[in-house]
Amino acid sequence: MTFEQLGNEGRTVDDAPQLDANSGLVYFGNRLCPFAHRAWWALLEKQVTGIDYIHIELGPNKPAWYQEKINPFGTVPCLYDHGRPVFESMILAEYFEEKFPNQGTKLLPEDPVDRASVRLFCSQFGEKGIRPLYALLSNQDRSKDEELQQALVKVLKEFNTRLEKQSSGPFFLGDQVSLADLALIPFVDRMSTVLKHYRGFDFLALPELSRIRDAYEASKKREAFQKTSQAPEFYIFVYNRYANPAK
């Protein structure tokens, strides 16, 4: 069984497209990447149409022209707004909120304190929450799995507590999905599947992570999330290179 990295909404190109004042909104993404998932989910929540989605293959097949001519960081996602670039996933997600404030889902609250709380959650998860997920998945020394599992749970419990303190759920702000959820859930979507499959570790089954589980379950009911997520079999296939790099 094989899975393509390309989603139905995307197209491939052989070289860097012309990006100027007449090129509209051009989005560069990939379906396997949780960072790209954040921004594409935000775009669909904002009900933005008319986006030119260009698929960028990741890994050894990533085209050289992408970093040379489009994104100097070499990462997805990025977007060109009539020739002007916007880089990094959460910056791009907030860009969609600011550019299209009067349509779709409101992803940032009006209250400035709540806005600051959302931004802090996003920043802290980026700094502390992502690395331990990949550390456990990529670890090749089975004797270290338990230690890495404990380290991961410790970090995730911090974010579970942040969710609990902010609201009664299911999302960070209660009934309203926000950028905080978009920062977290694409990683939960992938890692809950691949860590259970490759490492036998089901962190969503832990009672101390119930708020993260609630936010994930609520996200899966949203149409925009459903259109941007992938089947578990897809994640298992594409993340094999992290779990078993020698194979």
When the candidates are 1.20.120.1200, 1.20.1050.10, 1.10.600.10, 1.10.760.10, the CATH number that belongs to 112-243 is 1.20.1050.10
- How many residues are listed for the chain in this entry? 247
Residue 18 has pLDDT above 90, yes or no: yes
Q: Report d(CA 227, CA 62) in Å as an integer.
A: 24
Residue 14 has pLDDT above 60, yes or no: yes
CATH architecture label of 25-99:
3-Layer(aba) Sandwich (3.40)
Specify the pLDDT at position 218. 98
Domain ranges of the chain: 25-99, 112-243
DSSP-assigned states of every residue in 27-42: EEE-TT-HHHHHHHHH
> For the whole prediction, is pTM greater than 0.75?
yes
Q: Report d(CA 10, CA 5) in Å as an integer.
A: 10
Specify the pLDDT at position 189. 98
Backbone angles phi, psi at 217, to 5 degrees: -65, -40
Q: Report d(CA 58, CA 29) in Å as an integer.
A: 9
Report the chain's mean pLDDT, rounded to a whole number. 94
Structure tokens at 187: 């990683």
Region 21-34: mean pLDDT is 93
Specify the pLDDT at position 208. 97
Q: What are the tens digits of pLDDT across the range 197-223?
A: 999 999 999 999 999 999 999 999 999
Residue 3 has pLDDT above 80, yes or no: no
Q: What are the tens digits of pLDDT across the range 226-240?
A: 999 999 999 999 899
Specify the pLDDT at position 60. 86
Active site residues: 33
Which stretches of 16-133 are assigned E, i.e. beta strand? 25-29, 52-55, 78-81, 84-87
Q: What are the tens digits of pLDDT across the range 70-105?
A: 999 999 999 999 999 999 999 999 999 999 999 999
Number of other CB atoms surrounding residue 18 within 10 Å: 9
DSSP-assigned states of every residue in 97-109: HHHSTTSS---S-
